[in-house]
Amino acid sequence: MQLIDGKATAAALRSELKTEIAELRSRAGRAPGLAVILVGEDPASQVYVRNKERACAEAGIVSLPYRLSADATQEALLTLIAELNRRADVDGILLQLPLPGKLDAQACLLAIDPAKDVDGFHPENVGRLSLGLPGFVSCTPAGVMELLRRYNLSPAGKKAVVVGRSNIVGKPLAMLLARPEPWANATVTVCHSRTTDLARECREADFLFLAMGRPRCITGDMVKAGAVVIDVGINRTETGLCGDADFASVSPRVSAITPVPGGVGPMTIAMLLKNTVCSWKTRCGL
Ligand SMILES: NC(=O)c1ccc[n+]([C@@H]2O[C@H](COP(=O)([O-])OP(=O)(O)OC[C@H]3O[C@@H](n4cnc5c(N)ncnc54)[C@H](OP(=O)(O)O)[C@@H]3O)[C@@H](O)[C@H]2O)c1
């Protein structure tokens, strides 16, 4: 069984980006810039934002922090986004979700310039993904695909099952896997809470992707022998973080698996940096 080390892969990717930024910085005339908007004081969001800003600094990306109080108005938020859309030194705009109170997240995401939408949540980028056009892809599913590539695990021609159909993980991941491209070309089934026989669907998967948010829900008897299991789930339990797979019973049966923590999680921030660098290069004509 191969353990897919997302922590090491993300560190390698971040170091490659750091080198690339250092090499291109003088030609660009400036460092890449990521605006990070945090509204309110949700402790989990504060931790995520801090981690993102630290990763930016380490790679040589300037993070521009914008902190708004929980009672900020929709208008104030939209005015800020409009200003960041205009600014030449801002390559990416990250709006940390969820938003507190009555703020309309969809309206705010729609206001972000798709060319600066490094989270890949804007409907234009989602549409581009579904049409197979270039655009920003949501960081967690993009991180999953990067892990497959770097571990030489090709789902081409194989049966892939994605459990979860959210807009930020399950749905874009299913679209990426079905793309007519090397390292995709999978035959994809999407499962959700109304799937009649989840165990049967999972047992048919050569590649099983879990994005349910249900701690240790998928057990060894639900997995095909020799399958590749990518566990996106991050669940807080009394005994610490765990994934959607019951690692103890699943890992002995499979050919490769991501641990939780240390699997897909660290890839998400690395892909955010990658998208920001990509935007920077395009905007600076590099
Ligand atoms: N950086 C990262 O690694 C990262 C990033 C984002 C999310 N996550 C983690 O990934 C997990 C999923 O996140 P999300 O935002 O996609 O969650 P979500 O929006 O709650 O979606 C969960 C999906 O799982 C399905 N589901 C729930 N229980 C199920 C069951 N018993 N059987 C079959 N399907 C079931 C739901 O089906 P319905 O649609 O029918 O409700 C839904 O489509 C969470 O643990 C989250 O913490 C990790």
Can 46 be counted among the known catalytic residues?
no
- Nearest ligand 1 atom to the CA of 269 is 1
Virtual torsion, Cα 191, 192, 193, 195, nearest 10 deg: -30
pLDDT of residue 233: 98
Domains of the chain: 28-113 (3.40.50.10860), 139-265 (3.40.50.720)
Say if ligand 1 is within 6 A of residue 163 CB: yes
Can 117 be counted among the known catalytic residues?
no
Say if ligand 1 is within 6 A of residue 162 CB: no
- Nearest ligand 1 atom to the CA of 169 is 16
pLDDT of residue 3: 98
pLDDT of residue 12: 98
Cα–ligand 1 centroid distance for 213 (angstroms):
5
pLDDT of residue 186: 98
Q: Alpha-carbon distance 51 to 255, whole Å? A: 31
Q: What's the average pLDDT block by block, 10 residues per block, for the chain (286 residues)?
A: 98 98 98 98 95 97 97 98 98 97 96 98 98 97 98 98 98 98 96 98 99 98 98 96 98 98 97 98 97
Q: Is the dihedral of CA 39, 41, 45, 48 positive or negative?
A: positive
Say if ligand 1 is within 6 A of residue 235 CB: yes
Say if ligand 1 is within 6 A of residue 72 CB: no
Beta strands (DSSP E) in the chain are 2-3, 33-39, 62-68, 92-95, 159-163, 187-191, 207-210, 228-231, 235-237, 240-242, 256-257
Model-wide pTM > 0.75: yes
